[in-house]
Amino acid sequence: MTFNVQNITIANHPELAAAVETAAQETGKHDGIDPFSEQFLLGLRDERLNHQHWFIESDGKVEAVAASDGSSAELFVVPGARQEGRGTALFDAVAPTPVWAHGNFAGAQALAKAKDLRITRHLLVMAIEGEALKTAAQKPDTELLVANYTQSVERFGKEHVDQQWLKANNEAFSWHPEQGGWDMERLHRGMEPAWFDEKDVIFFWDVPANAEETTKESTEKTLPNMAGFHWTKWHDETEEGFGEVYVVGLADAYRGRRLGGPLLNAGLARMAEKGADRVILYVEADNGPAVKAYERLGFEIAENHVVYETSDIPGKD
């Protein structure tokens, strides 16, 4: 079959953005996995992200959508329009941009085989729930000051907190294509979504928890460094709600001090405090030590997400 693939910036068309969001929600409910990641959902509305979109519709109903940020792409076909070539048509439209396959379902695998694609990135979703979560959601074992974003701003001032958070993030993720290299505008943009809660961001400050209080009224020299942070996320897509280990990072000077575990515990405790009986996290499949550490804590693999690329891109081995 031949399809009319339309290329457009959906963020400039609110009604179409709403239709795509509805199609994504229905597809996610059917598949059990969201077809678009958070950034690509935001790209349907946020012109600053400069996402390009391709879509196929019939009788005014969206049947398939692809989106690209220039370095990667995501696409989905609604359940009732599958196995007729729409996915292939959209893949051809975005090629040779690497494409995410969320869930790596049979349809994506069949397309990859037909197009001689290869997996170049494998991302796992791991989950912890029930008694395992209750055991892991404990008070962090650390002598450092543990404070959420609201408490930290009240004590040290917003400017210092934001600067320290940005510094710790960029040091922790200097290697990461999406999370690293942020500026202050990008950090503040990350705090814009409706789900963001200042109390869900936990910081470790390099000052003893029982030390004489240092505040924003103190001299700049006495303000402490941030050792690390655990940015959690609360999902309310389901009636029960669940938590996510959104981002965990340590500043360079604090690596090797066994703070990762306590940071994780602090965030899990916050999610349990909000009523979560399930918490998820994303981790690269080839990060063996991290995967094993999470498994020891009680996490299990729940989803697989992969990036497919063509095998004949110049410079690719």
**pLDDT at residue 311 in the model:** 76
**pLDDT at residue 221 in the model:** 58
Rounded to the nearest 5°, which phi and psi values hold at 277?
-110, 5
Contact 86, 77 (CB under 8 A): yes
Three-state secondary-structure class, residue 243 = strand
Residues in binding site:
38, 75-77, 178, 233, 244, 248-250, 282, 287-292
Q: Same CATH fold, 127-303 and 6-115?
A: yes
Q: DSSP label at 209? A: T
**pLDDT at residue 1 in the model:** 84
**pLDDT at residue 238 in the model:** 74
Please state which CATH number belongs to domain 6-115. Answer: 3.40.630.30
Query: What residue segments make up the domains of the chain, in order of their start?
Result: 6-115, 127-303
Residues in binding site for acetyl-CoA:
75-77, 248-250, 287-292
What is the CA 86 to chain-centroid distance, rounded? Answer: 27
The tokens of 108 are what?
Answer: 């994506």
**pLDDT at residue 276 in the model:** 95
For the chain, how many residues are written? Answer: 317
pLDDT in tens, the chain (317 residues): 899 999 999 999 999 999 999 999 999 999 999 999 999 999 999 999 999 999 999 999 999 999 999 999 999 999 999 999 999 999 999 999 999 999 999 999 999 999 999 999 999 999 999 999 999 999 999 999 999 999 999 999 999 999 999 999 999 999 888 899 999 999 999 999 999 999 999 999 999 766 666 665 555 558 999 999 999 999 998 778 899 999 999 999 999 999 999 999 999 999 999 999 999 999 999 999 989 999 999 999 999 999 999 976 544 44
The tokens of 133 are what?
Answer: 């979560």
So what's the architecture of 127-303 in CATH? 3-Layer(aba) Sandwich (3.40)
